[in-house]
Amino acid sequence: MSLTTRVFAGFVLVVSAAVLGTALLSQYWGGLTPCELCLIQRWPWAAAVVISLIVVLVGERAGLAWVGLVFAIVFAISVVLAFYHVGVEQHWFAGPSACTAASGGAMTLEQVKQQILGTAPVLCDRPAWTLFGVSMAGWNLLASLIVTGCCVAALLHGARRRVVAFSVSRGAA
């Protein structure tokens, strides 16, 4: 079976909905309050759901190479966001001041405000949950890398198909 644009978009839709659904289930059913970076990491997956729905509706009018390129860009952004969050958790990078534990006694204005209001901010540098020692940001990084690879493969497959179709049409002329 040949990979079509609609089939590929359907694959991205299912994977994106599953990843986004897992994040939402962990929040609303599992009781894990997301940090600021967790919420930001959801945006590429939500964008992929919207884009893939549009592509499924448009069908084969959208070329596989172009769709693969758009999705590769979306998921490359997801890789960067997830890598940054993993880096904040591992203390490789400084995280946003609103959701990173202060190393000294000084607090940001946002932390003081949250303390006054009685709600502690969810810290980006402390994973709320891990599986096999990997945080949700780490699992998101892995999923983003895998889907980015699939998107690049679809891009290359679509580009190769266009070259073959062009060569065949030129040979017939």
Q: Name the residue range of residue 55's domain.
A: 5-172
Give the pLDDT confidence score for residue 166 in this predicted structure.
44
Instruction: Enumerate long-range contacts of 126-133, CB under 8 Å, 24 or more apart.
Output: 126/89, 126/101, 127/89, 128/32, 128/33, 128/35, 129/26, 129/30, 129/32
Residuewise pLDDT in 10s, the chain (173 residues): 457 889 999 999 999 999 999 999 999 998 888 888 999 999 999 999 999 999 999 877 778 889 999 999 999 999 999 999 999 988 898 878 767 666 555 566 776 666 666 566 677 778 787 789 888 999 999 999 999 999 999 999 888 765 555 444 555 55
Give the pLDDT confidence score for residue 143 in this predicted structure.
96
Q: What is the CATH number of the domain that holds 148?
A: 1.20.1550
Give the pLDDT confidence score for residue 85 in this predicted structure.
92
**Comparing C-alpha atoms, which of 149, 169, 163, 171 is closest to residue 63?**
163
The number of distinct structural domains making up the chain is 1
Give the pLDDT confidence score for residue 1 in this predicted structure.
41
Instruction: Evaluate whether 100 touches 125 at the Cβ level (below 8 Å).
Output: yes
Give the pLDDT confidence score for residue 149 in this predicted structure.
95
Q: What is the CA radius of gyration of the chain?
A: 20
| Measured distance CA(69)–CA(65) in Å, rounded | 6
Give the pLDDT confidence score for residue 73 in this predicted structure.
97
| Measured distance CA(42)–CA(115) in Å, rounded | 27
The pTM for the full model equals: 0.77
